Structures are given as C-alpha cells and as structure tokens.
Amino acid sequence: MIRRHLLVFIAVLLYMARTTPLLAQDDLTPAQIDHLIRAEWKRSAVAPAPPTDDAHYLRRVTLDVIGTLPTAEEVKAFPYKRHEVLVQLLNSPKYAEYWTAYWDDVLMGRQVRRQVVDRGVFREWLKGQVSANTPYNKFVYELLTASGVNTNRTVAKPVNDAMPQMDMDANGKTLADSRVNGAVNWYMKYADTPADYSGAVSRLFMGVQIQCAQCHDHKTEAWKQSDFRKFTSCFMQAQVRPVNRVVEKGMSRQLELTDNAKPIRIPPRLMAKMKENGRLEYAAAEPSALDGTSFANEPNKRQAIAKWITAPQNPWFASAIVNRMWAHFLGRGFVNPIDDFRESNPVVMPELLKKLADDFTAHGYDLKYLVKLICSTQVYQLSSQPAKSADEGNTLWARYRLKPVKPEVMMDMLVTATNMESMLERVAGNRLPALKIALQRQLTFLFDVDEEFEQKDYEGTIPQALLLLNGSVANSAVSLIPGAALTEVMALPGSDNEKVESLYLRTVSRLPSKKEIAYWSKFVNTPRAIAQTFTPPTGQERPRLAGSGEGVEQNLQEKTANQERRTGGADPLGRITGRFAQRTGTPKQQAYEDMFWALLNSSEFIFNH
C-alpha cells in the first residue's frame, strides 16, 4: 500500500513538473491550492486517485468549460500543454454560449410562464455580459439595479383610431424600445412576489438562505423574521408600470421598471392584495442589509443594497461564487449544498475557500481567471477512478467526481457525435426549429439532474434509459442516412480498425484499446441473419438481432406506456424520421449501427468523467 501511494505521489510530481504555470508568482497558484489539499489528505489519511490521461482531461475540460465534446482532430492532436487547451476554450465563441445558458438556467430556471418576462431579451443581455467577461461584481450590481423596459417585441403600429397611439422615434421604433434593458426581466419574474425575489438574491449571490424566516422565527436559525423584512424592504422602491396595454399573442407585455424616491401610494382597491403578499409589511420595515447596515436615508435603496452585496467587505459574496464555480468543476463545493452557508452546515477547508475568495476579489472578480485557476489544479486533473483508501464521500476531492451532463449538453453531444444537425435539416425542413425545441424539452424532462450528488454509474430512471436505448433520437442518428456520421465513417478508406477508432473518437473522445478493437472487429465481421425490415409507427421500436454481440441487443424492448404518459406523447423525432429507422443494408452495416448505438448508450458517453 505504501509503495502504491508513493508511486501515485511521484506521478503527481512528474505531472506538475511538466505543466507550465499560468499565473504570476504573487498570485494564488494551482500548486499552492494543491499543496493545501494534499496536506488535508494526509491529515485525513486519504489517498488521491492518480492523474488522468490527456484524452480524458481534454474531454472533461471541454465539457466543463464550453459544454460540448472535443473534435476527433483535437483528441488526436495531443500531447500538448494543458494550459494551452484552457486558453483556447476560454477564447472560444462557445464559451459565451455555454455560460449564457448556465446563468439563464441559474437565474430563470427551466420554465417562466409569466407573460411579463422576455426570456430572449434577457439571454441577449446575459450573452453580452459573458462575452465581455464583465467583472462578476459589476454583473451582479447591474442585474440588481437594472431599470428600463423589459422587451422590444412591441405590438404592430396602430392601424385605426381604436388602438392607442404610441410615440415613435425617427427610425420607426417606439420610444420605449430605446429604454430596453434585458436585465430587468429577472426582476419581472418576481414582480408580484417580493419575498421570493429577496430570498433568491440572498441565496444566489451570497449563499445565505433567509427565506425560511419569511413566516416566523426559527430557534436554530440565525436569521429572524425581522431580518427578512428589512432585507426585502430594500427592493420595495422598485415599481413596474405598463408602457402599453396592447399585447400580441405569444409576446411579452411591455413594462418599465423604475425606482420611486417617494413611498408608493397604494390605491384602496389594491390594499387587500398588498396585505396578502406581505408588501405592506415589507414596505414599512427599515431597509437594512443582513449585517444591520441601515439604508433608510439612502435615496435609492436598490443601489445601496446592491453596493453592499457586491462590496469586497461582504463576507459572503466572493465566497459564494467561488464555491459555486468550484462545485461546477469539482462536483462538490466547500459548502454543500452550494447555496447554504450557515453554522450548522460547516465549510470544508475554510482557509482554502477564503484564499480563493480573496484572490478572486484581488483579480477584479474575473470569472475567466477563476475558471483557469481551478482547471489548472492537479486536483481537477485527477482520475475519476478512486484509490483504495479514498474518502468514500469524496468530500476532499481525492478523485474527479463522476457527473451527469445537463440536458442541453446532452443534446449538443448527440448532435456533435452523430451529425444530427445535418440529418434533421434534410428531414424536417422548415419544421427544424420546432423539432429541436421538442427534443430539448424531452431531454430536459428526463435528464434534468442534480449535480450536487455524485453518480456511481448509470443511475438514471427507467424512462431515461429507454429514451436512449429505444428512442428515435439515438436509433435514427446511428442509421445509414445521407449526411449522418455513420454514413461518413463507412465511406472512409481503410480497415475496420480505423472505422472503429473513428466512432470511438466521435463518442467517448479517445482511441479504443487493443482489446476493444479486437472485440469490435470480430463483432462487425461475425455472420448474422439480416433483421426484418419494418417502419416503426413512432420510431421507438428496434429489432432484435441474432448473434449481435454481448450487451448490444439487451434492453431493446419498446418504450413503455409509462414513459409515453410522462413525456406527454410519442417521441417527437420519431414522427418525422420514422421512415428512416428501417433496418436496411448489409449485415455488416447493421453491425456497425449497433456498435455506434452501443457507444452512444454507454456510461462513458453519458457522463463527464
């Protein structure tokens, strides 16, 4: 055991010796972070996993930083210095796309049914912030203090006197359009529920759960109902007023968010509703921060509380975002759950969290800097295979935490691996946008997972498994359709070994082992009966093959009626591509289809490891 630990330690040292430092000598370096964590491993008698290899690192960091798979060319380009990979990923256009989707999910959630929220305009604002790498403190300040109009999707110009006239500028736009600020849409989500808004602000940007104090005091909690009311009072100056009352179907109402310097006069007819949602009590409370700082004499309470939240002196602000980013990349934060900083939920390695938070603040709240720092640590670059004496709960990050990918990432992975975009364009035509939305909703419903809990293996639900095993998303994508990935692979010159390598690079982002090449080469050349040709009504069924190889023909039963009920109907891709899901071609071509299908359904493809 001692000899094994020594070999792992030497491997770590050799790896760190070949890695070029990313940061200046005065900065908190990846080596210093690793040193602190190794010391904690030693105190806790925890053995770390060995370093991961280049192929696994490339796949891991590409999924974590830009939410997609590396190309086959990128995998084959190794070895090169890993910090160069990071620089390329941080400068990739996909970085902005991925983190825009990330923050949209964090702030807005999966569904916002309010007609006053323009999700598209909000995402445009987010993308501008991410693309410019806006300092995190400025990003949060602008979000919390945003004023302006929520949408530029206005109604058509009036055609008769019965419709209200709207002021237009020289370009034919309404004057309200010039005041559009996508950031106000986050407030619009909570416009009728100020308590939910203040709870979200505290939880997301400070990791402090105050919403439990909304109704009454808890003996075991630090925050009292009076604290909650005072904090919520800081946002009660915000006022939403309609810009126009005409709304086209499918569009958001055009509203404007402003701050009232004077107390808002409440019409008697609204008094009962205001009492019901607590607005009267919140408006009457003294606006104060969680540390007791009063803003009663501040002319703009929202600006005052936003300045307090994002100040370097705030004990929670920088720590909360560092903890969130650490959890995203390492699978578990210093505090778990990531938004629950409290005495009864102690911080793991608090001294390291403070060093990271102080360093992040000193570098101007630069999120790209923080991402680069975390991904440059040896801790991030450990294998996902644990050592024998590793911490069973992996609370000290002694191995990379096996993580299921988000539904949006899963969709991108399938599209990238199979050339699905090209295939769908040929099949769906002008129905492609609607089809992609339907597929995204299905994946979101079935694969929306909690990243804070580690997966040991494929632990998805039965509907999740059946969606991949029998769903037309996977089955049609592995067929020999013009433009599909498998069609391109089969057209490549060379031996079966080279075709097997190509499919491995497309799916699991590595070259197959000699044992895997031998197995699949034998598999595709084994004589078999040609399967019955048929056209499934929904693209969900898949035939069973004689002699199709171990593991490949298992669980090919049709999707259950329970899944049909839970997903709200037949598989959307099947309705359009069902005619392509026929079993045609030679037995060898069908064997390649089954091989490709098996790779797409493997745990190695589905998880980030």
pLDDT tens readout for residues 6-50:
443 344 334 333 333 333 446 899 999 999 999 999 999 999 999
Tell me which of 248-257, 317-326, 361-370, 432-441 is least confident.
432-441
Residue type, 124: E
Q: What is the mean pLDDT of the chain?
A: 76
pLDDT number for residue 516: 93
Q: Tell me: pLDDT of 161 over 80.
A: no
Is the pLDDT reported for residue 477 higher than 90? Answer: no
Question: 448 or 304: which carries more pLDDT confidence?
Answer: 304
Buried-exposed string 212-231: b where 16+ CB fall within 10 A, e elsewhere:
ebbeeeeeeeebebebbbbb
- Given the DSSP bridges, would you call strands 255-259 and 403-404 parallel, antiparallel or unpaired? unpaired
In this structure, the chain runs to a length of: 609
Q: Please write the tens of the pLDDT for every residue from 265-290.
A: 555 544 455 455 456 677 778 888 88
Q: H or E element: which one contains 427?
A: helix 420-428
Among 430, 197, 415, 439, smallest CA distance to 302 is for 197
**Alpha-carbon distance 433 to 414, whole Å?**
17
Q: One-letter amino acid identity for 291?
A: D
For residue 220, report the phi and psi dihedrals to the nearest 5 degrees: -95, -5
Burial of 102 (0-12, 13-18, 19+ CB in 10 A): middle
**Exposed (0-12), middle (13-18) or buried (19+): which is 405, by Cβ within 10 Å?**
buried
How many whole angstroms separate alpha carbon 188 and alpha carbon 203?
18
**Confidence band (pLDDT; 50, 70, 90) for 81?**
confident
The amino acid at 509: S
- The pLDDT, as a whole number, for residue 553 is 30
Identity at 10, one-letter amino acid code: I
Each residue's pLDDT tens digit, 391-444: 677 889 999 998 888 878 888 888 888 887 776 666 666 666 666 666 666 666
Residue that wins the pLDDT comparison between 571 and 344: 344
Among the ranges given (249-263, 334-348, 362-376, 494-508), the one the predictor scored with the smallest mean pLDDT: 249-263
**pLDDT single digits (tens) 488-535:** 889 988 899 999 999 999 999 999 999 999 999 999 998 876 443 333
Domain residue limits, the chain: 2-91+315-401, 95-309, 404-608
- Angle (CA) 248 127 146, round 5°: 70
What token pair was written down for 442? 């299905």
pLDDT at 443 (0 to 100): 60
- Reported as a pLDDT band with limits 50, 70 and 90, residue 79 is confident
Predicted local distance difference test score (pLDDT) of residue 426: 66
pLDDT class for 567, splitting at 50, 70, 90?
very low
| pLDDT for res 308 | 96
Contact 403, 331 (CB under 8 A): yes
What's residue 460's pLDDT?
A: 46
